[in-house]
Amino acid sequence: VFDGKERFEKLKLLGEGGRGEVVGALDHDIGRKVAIKRLHAHVRSPAALARFVDEIRTIGKLEHPNIIPIHDVGTDGDGELYFVMKYVDGETLESVIEKLAAGDREYPRLYTFERRVEIFRALLEALAFAHAKGIVHRDIKPANVMVARYGEVLLMDWGFAISVADTMPQTPV
């Protein structure tokens, strides 16, 4: 804690699912915006916590420009586990698709055919990297792809990912 402030100052809810939430926060120690993921109180069973730790470790293995990076992991004052990710200033691919379909006048200019192919290619590069590491995402959808303000494409939400090695039957030696 610097200057007597709590490290993280919650700014706004960025996303929420059945198992957890992601909030935007200001990290006072570093002086930047971050995204913090936590489990909902009603899903803090041992199995849910193990899955959460698996997500942290999965993302930790996937250092790639198109995969959301983790900056930190810890427990808060109440002993609740969280992890800190890069804050992505942008919008989901789901939002981009909806605005294109709705006829938003600016979006065909921003998201030309060529730009949409670049986004798809970046997504495929993230998946190819994960697959080369033996990890399958299992929840690919436009809501889990962020398109950042400066063009970065990031695959998010690795909570359902599995390691192929964990699913292979073990052969006796």
- Which residues are catalytic, by number? 139
Residue 131 CB partners (closer than 8 Å, separation 6+): none
SS3 of residue 58 by DSSP: helix
Give Dmax over CA atoms of the chain in angstroms: 63
170 vs 165: CA distance, rounded Å: 9
Both tokens of 69, joined, read: 């990076």
27 vs 8: CA distance, rounded Å: 5
Element (H, E) at 14: strand 8-16
